[in-house]
Structure 1
């Protein structure tokens, strides 16, 4: 049984004794472990001994990590983030493999970093122990307190201007900043500085003075300084601007988000680092060469899909797949990342209702490096945070690494050339040419079916594609490793330097799945026009409470690949799985994007039908009015002296009489139908007798001819 970083090993005889794998040195066949319940420095065990214990059952692997902390930055207090980030800087500087695992060298590193950061060696040791015990990710360094942070007290109030006196006197009066002045400064910045014409800060200050600290001159009619009152100085204006707005915030407001991401954002990672083993994944996206139909209505063509592939650079194995109909975006990329990091057998069963064996696609590890094209959706604040929380290094394939992007592009071509000849709706070379066929009309596959085909192609490629040009190493040749992606990956996993990690599905959901708001209603948990339920909601009577006290919102996570389930965070370590209520079961295998597409199609149909609906309503109103008018006329014919007498005293007897009249009318109709049936029967019998006589006559003529 293969050991990887972050595996939790539980002693069968003593379940309280749980160890975490923090490093695997396959060269020396050593595994470094820590006790998670009593955090300590790593100690080594022979890999063979641990594998023997696993095979005997003396030690078992724990599937879920109870010590993993999955939380978003917006859920943390300011002081929690500061303490975590400070500890993270220390860890980044000190965490050098294998030095950090060697006691003597570790002590030297601790002394060095304690001086650099002005920390005690005890604090640095605590950082290391906490990092190892809690999963070796950034959030493992969070302090052990929740829902607390820096106390938000009132700012100091000044009675006179702070700072040293002016060296030279002026006729302009100065004063300490008040709350009213702060409001004026903020309004002026928004009005005169954070605008697309990009004026200078000095211009914004001058406009503020003109608007708030000037008066009209009686002689000239122009505005002049009101020197009788104190005026905000430019230094004060500049101070509060710097205090309130970080440089990137100012650029965001003045230049726009796109300009900031293109020219001002930080670019982390190195584009010249080579892949020295498995664990460096490249990710890219393309538009699929096939038109698809909706899984809810196969007469609706939904266009072409966006296909994401994630490839391990070293082994050339395809390690992840994401398919969607939403344009290339962070939302689509999340699907590919979730698939890359989770168990493929479980993924296929849950989202595609498709059975595969574990051995067909046994790749569910978190890499140490993720490579993406410089212009891809991965280079964004949102997804940079994801890879940081997972402790994954992010790099971009810039000018120096054009060959890395071609790895994914090559496999897009390989996968699609296998499937396009078989698929109706696939785009051929004559597409959009004069006389070319419209392949959209031949579309028959929905998103799930297309994804199933892609998975089958990936399984074929990973397990059966012989890489003739792959540069096998000397060790691979000696150990008779064939150049097949899955064999190379398994060899790299066995011989690697311990840089692949696993993570629980709960942690993957928290870090990768999109987050949204659902509403608890009397009919269920409402999200995306569907309703869900869960055991916790039933047990705690959420739905009856919603009917009595009113609806309320709650935060949920959802899998874009399937609307069958959503996830409610109970606390930092636990989730509640919510499933569709029975009346919405028909949507179980539908993807979120298809549901959105269906809603848009229904809105379009409603808009197109609006004229017919209005005409129908107008006609209905006229027909009702016509019937009422006729009834009034008939009633008026029976009036006496312009009034219609109403017998309201004998309503019950009147109803009985009316009922008898209706019965007689119904019986008359039935009798008339019965008479008609009898007449038809007599006519039929008469016709039958005539036919029989003709038949007998013909029979006699035939017999007579035979005798002659």
Structure 2
């Protein structure tokens, strides 16, 4: 049987094994073959051996070409033609018969072509293998672009496992993905991966294998891999996960829509565009990253402050900053709003004893809208009432959507990151590491000093922070407005874009400052454990009436940032300012929170001293009882000796006699001391007198304290 070049020989035992005849020597003794399915260099076989196999039926000639190319030139892309022609030129240069079939000579030809065409030897070897295995025609060198992507809008069907072959053998069988396997993969992803516990993809794969590709071991009772059937590989599992699901789909399914909107959605909008001019204030609160000490005793650490920031969305200007040790509440919110609406120069002087220029922080206006989140104090009736009284629109954002007021949120990070390196007692995330020191013990700043630092930082960012990414309007550019918060705010104020309003301080106080009840007592107006007085109370003799008729209550407004004054509303138009009485002057300028903290500390100190006080009282009672017992014993002895019973008729004469006796005894003691101890530097005669003077002095102090 005659063998010619390009004959295809198929194994009868293994139909997938097909060989191509690529050359027959002139003597017709040897022929060179390649495997059509697995491209390789030609290997030689004796012709009589092949003919014998053909006769026996071990191999047969195949008429159908598995690599028959049916493609028109105009259907090929430019890059396909370029790659094919380039490979064809290389093949034509090195394809010298019989040298190309001799390994050593073939290697030399490949190296020469590599230098001539600036290609790697590996690439040229691939050209040759493809040329031999695919029919030894020009189009055999076409790249396999037809295998990329989908064909005619449908997924390609694979007979065997796609992708690079495994480098190492394994007992686990692999196969191409089928429709049934795709269904298993989808079910496993939904069941084991797209859940709120957010397990890894590897976990989902392992659960799938356990459920669908395992069997129970008879010896151990555990599930083990069913090696009799092919098993999906992790790469196949991962491929179809990536193919079916977009990244945002996975986040939606695993973490929910809320988390996606907050942290993963596209950021294409601008808060500046939404505000449409100055006058939209965003307010929010956070915990400060520093530990503070008491204003009365710096050895007492009072914890971390609560910071409220109010920011104008359009200009990025910080309208107000409030810090206190009270938790986030309706009272602290009132203070933050009062701070936002009042004159900053007067506020800094009154509460911080700090002088600033009026142009440094000229923001004391009422906004048209307040943006707030869903905090309990920000959706309360208190805030609704305040905004209604001041004709301000309140807009509560959706839950867990801080990005809707991102300007305010970002300023928290900016301010605290800026000042933290300067502050002793600042929170250090790694202080629990070995050898780390507790930063809380380094705290030295009190609340007033910390607020001063915050105000200074706010002034810096309002007046000197250049907003390089701020979207200036055409009008701003024409007027050469620099992108600095305070300059943008002033520009908006001139243009009247925000419809800002002003209101008298009295009206703001009556609407914003918290209300409470005070008691009129004989000692003064008692509020929060402190006593106040005012001209109206003195004129109408409130304190005398309270002593005669009893105390009564009265509503007052107060500023928790400064307990120096409280305000009594007389009528709808007037109010009375009440000031601390002289005895409590040490509390002037102190915050209400610090007063409460100090009183709590004293109550605790009193509780801790209770044991010592009771033990002292018990010991005193025992000493008195012992003295009385001795006196009774002496009195009984005198009665037994026949002495006269107690004389109660002549008490005055008895008193005089006793005084004379005491005087003579004292003089005798003095004379003896002067005679026996003339050289002693210490005059013991004066010691009883000194002791008596000290006793009288202490007695007066006790009486004085008792009156107060």
Verify same fold: TM over 0.5. yes
Name 2:292's counterpart in structure 1: 292
Name 1:340's counterpart in structure 2: 340
Structure 2 distance, partners of 1:614, 1:600, is 21
Q: Which moved more, 1:649-658 or 1:327-336?
A: 649-658
Please tell me whether residue 317 in structure 1 is matched to residue 317 in structure 2.
yes
Q: Map Cα deviations across residues 5-60 of structure 1 (whole Å, 9 max, x no partner).
A: xxxxxxxxxxxxxxxxxxxxxxxxxxxxxxxxxxxxxxxxxxxxxxxxxxxxxxxx
Q: CA deviation at 1:669?
A: 5.1
Name 1:368's counterpart in structure 2: 368
Structure 1 distance, partners of 2:675, 2:574, is 77
Alignment of 1:430-445 (within 5 A): 430-445=430-445
Alignment of 1:416-427 (within 5 A): 416-427=416-427
Pair member with larger Rg = 2
Q: CA deviation at 1:571?
A: 0.7
**2:341·2:365 contact (CA, 8 Å) conserved in 1?**
yes
Name 2:543's counterpart in structure 1: 543
Structure 2 distance, partners of 1:671, 1:384, is 87
Q: CA deviation at 1:652?
A: 2.6
1:274 counterpart SS class:
helix
Name 1:458's counterpart in structure 2: 458
**2:531·2:580 contact (CA, 8 Å) conserved in 1?**
yes
Structure 1 distance, partners of 2:644, 2:318, is 87
**1:311·1:407 contact (CA, 8 Å) conserved in 2?**
yes
Structure 1 distance, partners of 2:502, 2:676, is 83
Structure 1 distance, partners of 2:389, 2:677, is 84
Structure 1 distance, partners of 2:560, 2:278, is 28
Structure 2 distance, partners of 1:596, 1:549, is 30
Judged with a 3 Å threshold, the aligned counterparts in structure 2 of structure 1 residues 375 and 631 are, in CA distance, closer, same or farther, namely same
**2:311·2:408 contact (CA, 8 Å) conserved in 1?**
yes
Q: Which consecutive unaligned segments of at least 5 residues does structure 2 have?
A: 1-270, 683-708
Structure 2 distance, partners of 1:406, 1:498, is 20
RMSD (CA atoms): 2.4
Judged with a 3 Å threshold, the aligned counterparts in structure 2 of structure 1 residues 392 and 649 are, in CA distance, closer, same or farther, namely same
Structure 2 distance, partners of 1:288, 1:657, is 76
Name 1:386's counterpart in structure 2: 386
Structure 2 distance, partners of 1:339, 1:651, is 74
Structure 1 distance, partners of 2:376, 2:318, is 19
Q: CA deviation at 1:573?
A: 1.6
Q: Map Cα deviations across residues 69-109 of structure 1 (whole Å, 9 max, x no partner).
A: xxxxxxxxxxxxxxxxxxxxxxxxxxxxxxxxxxxxxxxxx
**2:279·2:498 contact (CA, 8 Å) conserved in 1?**
no
Structure 1 distance, partners of 2:530, 2:588, is 11
Structure 2 distance, partners of 1:602, 1:667, is 49
Q: Map Cα deviations across residues 365-406 of structure 1 (whole Å, 9 max, x no partner).
A: 000010012335211122111111111111123379753422
**1:518·1:525 contact (CA, 8 Å) conserved in 2?**
yes
2:679 counterpart SS class:
helix
Name 2:632's counterpart in structure 1: 632
Structure 2 distance, partners of 1:360, 1:660, is 82
Judged with a 3 Å threshold, the aligned counterparts in structure 2 of structure 1 residues 490 and 674 are, in CA distance, closer, same or farther, namely farther
Q: Which consecutive unaligned segments of at least 5 residues does structure 1 have?
A: 1-270, 683-708
Q: CA deviation at 1:624?
A: 1.0
Q: Normalising by structure 1, report the TM-score.
A: 0.55
Q: Which moved more, 1:432-441 or 1:624-633?
A: 432-441
Name 2:357's counterpart in structure 1: 357
Structure 2 distance, partners of 1:445, 1:364, is 28
2:620 counterpart SS class:
helix
Structure 2 distance, partners of 1:287, 1:580, is 32
**1:636·1:644 contact (CA, 8 Å) conserved in 2?**
no
Q: CA deviation at 1:464?
A: 1.7
Judged with a 3 Å threshold, the aligned counterparts in structure 2 of structure 1 residues 610 and 643 are, in CA distance, closer, same or farther, namely farther
**2:341·2:508 contact (CA, 8 Å) conserved in 1?**
yes
Structure 2 distance, partners of 1:315, 1:674, is 90
Judged with a 3 Å threshold, the aligned counterparts in structure 2 of structure 1 residues 273 and 660 are, in CA distance, closer, same or farther, namely farther
Q: CA deviation at 1:363?
A: 0.6
**1:272·1:401 contact (CA, 8 Å) conserved in 2?**
no
Please tell me whether residue 525 in structure 1 is matched to residue 532 in structure 2.
no
Please tell me whether residue 486 in structure 1 is matched to residue 472 in structure 2.
no
Q: CA deviation at 1:335?
A: 0.9
Judged with a 3 Å threshold, the aligned counterparts in structure 2 of structure 1 residues 407 and 662 are, in CA distance, closer, same or farther, namely farther
**1:524·1:532 contact (CA, 8 Å) conserved in 2?**
yes
**2:276·2:497 contact (CA, 8 Å) conserved in 1?**
no
Alignment of 1:75-90 (within 5 A): none
Q: CA deviation at 1:579?
A: 0.7
Q: Map Cα deviations across residues 119-178 of structure 1 (whole Å, 9 max, x no partner).
A: xxxxxxxxxxxxxxxxxxxxxxxxxxxxxxxxxxxxxxxxxxxxxxxxxxxxxxxxxxxx
1:290 counterpart SS class:
coil
Aligned residues: 412
Name 2:646's counterpart in structure 1: 646
Judged with a 3 Å threshold, the aligned counterparts in structure 2 of structure 1 residues 643 and 597 are, in CA distance, closer, same or farther, namely farther
Judged with a 3 Å threshold, the aligned counterparts in structure 2 of structure 1 residues 644 and 319 are, in CA distance, closer, same or farther, namely farther
Structure 2 distance, partners of 1:479, 1:655, is 101
Name 2:585's counterpart in structure 1: 585
Please tell me whether residue 595 in structure 1 is matched to residue 602 in structure 2.
no
Question: Which structure would you say has the larger RCO, counting Cα contacts within 8 Å and 6 or more residues apart?
Answer: 1
Structure 2 distance, partners of 1:399, 1:548, is 56
Name 2:63's counterpart in structure 1: none
Structure 2 distance, partners of 1:671, 1:557, is 71
Name 1:74's counterpart in structure 2: none
Please tell me whether residue 656 in structure 1 is matched to residue 656 in structure 2.
yes
Q: Map Cα deviations across residues 627-669 of structure 1 (whole Å, 9 max, x no partner).
A: 1111111222222578862233332333233333434444455
Q: Normalising by structure 2, report the TM-score.
A: 0.55
Judged with a 3 Å threshold, the aligned counterparts in structure 2 of structure 1 residues 428 and 671 are, in CA distance, closer, same or farther, namely farther
Name 1:468's counterpart in structure 2: 468
Alignment of 1:202-221 (within 5 A): none
Structure 1 distance, partners of 2:362, 2:674, is 76
Judged with a 3 Å threshold, the aligned counterparts in structure 2 of structure 1 residues 668 and 512 are, in CA distance, closer, same or farther, namely farther
Q: CA deviation at 1:678?
A: 3.9
Q: Which moved more, 1:417-426 or 1:396-405?
A: 396-405
Name 1:327's counterpart in structure 2: 327
Structure 1 distance, partners of 2:676, 2:469, is 89
Structure 2 distance, partners of 1:676, 1:491, is 96
**1:520·1:554 contact (CA, 8 Å) conserved in 2?**
yes
